[in-house]
Amino acid sequence: MSDYILVLDEGTTSTRAMLFASDGVLVASHQEPLTQHYPQSGWVEHDPAEIWEKTLRCAENVVPKAGGAAMIACIGITNQRETVVAWDRTTGEPLANAIVWQDRRTEPFCAALREAGHEAGVQERTGLLLDPYFSGTKMRWLLDNVPPVKAAADAGTLAFGTVESWLVFKLTGGAAHITDASNASRTLLMGLEDAQFNEELCELLGVPLAALPGVVDTCGPLAMTDPSLLGRAIPITGLAGDQQAATVGQACLAPGQTKATYGTGAFVLTCQGSRIPRSTNRLLGTVLTQCDGVRTYAIEGSVFVAGSLVQWLRDSLGIVEVASQTEALARSIPDSGGVVIVPALAGLGAPHWNAEARGVIAGLSFASGKAELARAALEAMAHQTHDLAAAFTADGAPWKTLRIDGGMAANDWMAQDLADVLGVTVERPGFVETTALGAAMLAAAGAGLYPDLGSAAQAMRGRLSKFEPAMGDDVRDARLAAWRKALAAA
Ligand code: ADP
């Protein structure tokens, strides 16, 4: 029976192919690193040809481990979001390097749009803010600055797309130029109401609608691969941006269910069901899933510094040799002795949005040592997450549970502290590759291996660890009061 699911997980620093059994168990995986190009300060590029070649190579590597292409029921793709590729639809060749999501080169254009008073209207329609992070202004930059892109636009052969769109085009031998609604919702060009690219938004950003892909579901029969590539025509049945895929992978499919990924920074998404998010707290609204044309939405917020604070304790202060030692240090003392860290080392993200803010260590005394600093660093994760939770609640999206993943989520002490300070149950899956698992769930549901996404998520989600809130109100209140005082100093 052909019931394996092939997931192509195209990340910022590497490309992977992963083979899942239909019960969500990972069977095989192959990974290749991706070259990062930094042509100028603030610019980050990838080579689209390299992305495609490595993706294909990773897929070719794992397909035999399923017993051949005949054993693969479907393909799911998840990708680094907002990164833009421009190619010629007749030749299938890239016309420029991809501009990566981290790239800041379009800030002057964004600033001009903000100054002209467009942000409120754009946020109302797209759920996004006018920031270089998103795809639309990157497309405009390519048109303005790369002559072959402009020439292809004039000749009517230009194709723009985010990375999943580029990969589907190549995987289908150029037959399909599509993007899924979750990736399209990161472009500044798509209205959240109808999940279609919008003529007025295209005009505002100066991006030709004709160059954009068709917007399709995140799961369903979306396209078929070119049979000459992997041995047979395999249906592509799941497509989603990485954070949306991780949210699905954590089975956050009902309103209020929330996932937080604690890696270098922290990304939080709360499912909103069919309700279109409207933030008054500078959070983002985004499409989570679209199956049979029916959409769910999510509210999204991120903090810039999470695991990187632990890295700083390790590399700059030498307080620990490896990140996981913070756990034993935090446990070795009953409290941080009044030490509070505000991790504004790179400004503050949601909900504060203060680029000029800088880090603070408050409450130092002669009794403060390594353990107090390590504990204060971990406590800062709960404090930052608490402020995000307050913003989500103010936007009408209170959290029911918090499902955590990412490298830092391995820290049991931090997981318990999150439950204590937030006052919600924190859940952590045993299988931490939630992004790839989410893409597998979408593909499995889209291929009809399960009746719907909810049943796929139920069946494929592995074992969980749970952390229940146990902290007294007085302790929590005192912690948060000290945090607010330190935050004011940042
Ligand atoms: P990314 O995907 O952003 O590269 P990861 O999800 O791999 O990040 O997480 C790595 C981060 O988590 C590092 O910054 C590291 O300092 C931190 N980290 C890893 N393990 C632990 C731990 N047990 N306790 C605290 N922090 C940890």
Q: How far apart are the CA of 307 and the centre of ligand 1, in A?
A: 5
Q: Is 255 a domain residue?
A: no
pLDDT score recorded for residue 352: 83
User: pLDDT tens digit string along 225-262?
Assistant: 999 999 999 999 999 999 999 999 999 999 999 999 99
> How many domains does the structure of the chain reveal?
1
81 CB burial (10 A radius; 0-12, 13-18, 19+):
buried
Cα dist from 265 to 159, 163, 305, 307, 435, whole Å: 32, 22, 5, 6, 16
Task: Enter the DSSP assignment of 409.
Answer: G
User: pLDDT tens digit string along 126-153?
Assistant: 999 998 989 999 999 999 999 999 999 9
Name the residue among 149, 167, 213 with its Cα closest to residue 187: 213
List strand residue ranges (DSSP E) for 391-457, in order. Answer: 401-405, 426-429
Name the residue among 350, 362, 239, 366 with its Cα closest to residue 302: 350
Ligand 1 pocket: which of 408, 411, 417 to mutate (most atoms within 8 A of CB): 408
345: tokens are 């080392």
The verdict on the CB of residue 323 being under 6 Å from ligand 1 is yes
The verdict on the CB of residue 13 being under 6 Å from ligand 1 is no
Q: Is 431 a domain residue?
A: no
Q: Which atom of ligand 1 is nearest to the CA of 308?
A: 14
Cα dist from 464 to 44, 189, 404, 428, 429, whole Å: 37, 38, 10, 5, 4
Q: Is 215 a domain residue?
A: yes
pLDDT score recorded for residue 2: 62
- Residue 214 belongs to what domain range? 4-243
Please confirm whether the linkage preceding 351 is cis (ω < 30° from 0): yes
429: tokens are 């899956």
Q: Is 130 a domain residue?
A: yes
Q: How far apart are the CA of 375 and the centre of ligand 1, in A?
A: 16
Q: How far apart are the CA of 332 and the centre of ligand 1, in A?
A: 21
Q: Whose CA is nearest to atom 20 of ligand 1?
A: 408
- pTM assigned to the model: 0.92
Q: Is 344 a domain residue?
A: no
User: pLDDT tens digit string along 447-483?
Assistant: 999 999 999 999 999 889 999 999 999 999 999 999 9
Amino acid at 274: S
Low-confidence stretches of the chain (pLDDT < 70) are 1-2
Q: Is 28 a domain residue?
A: yes
The Cα 218–Cα 168 span in angstroms is 13
SS3 15: strand
34: tokens are 């991706």
Ligand 1 pocket: which of 308, 310, 327 to mutate (most atoms within 8 A of CB): 310
The verdict on the CB of residue 338 being under 6 Å from ligand 1 is no
Cα dist from 389 to 100, 360, 421, 465, 475, whole Å: 29, 22, 11, 21, 19
Q: Is 226 a domain residue?
A: yes
* CATH value at residue 191: 3.30.420.40
| Host H or E run for residue 236 | strand 235-241
Q: Is 445 a domain residue?
A: no
Q: How far apart are the CA of 293 and the centre of ligand 1, in A?
A: 37
Task: Enter the DSSP assignment of 293.
Answer: T
- Residue 485 exposure: Cα atoms within 13 Å on the Cβ side: 12
- Per-residue burial over 125-156, b if 16 or more Cβ lie within 10 Å, else e, is bbbbbbbbbbbbbbbbbbbeeeeebeebbeee
193 CB burial (10 A radius; 0-12, 13-18, 19+):
exposed
Q: How far apart are the CA of 306 and the centre of ligand 1, in A?
A: 8
The span from the first CA to the last CA of the chain, in angstroms, equals 59
The Cα 262–Cα 248 span in angstroms is 16
pLDDT score recorded for residue 248: 97
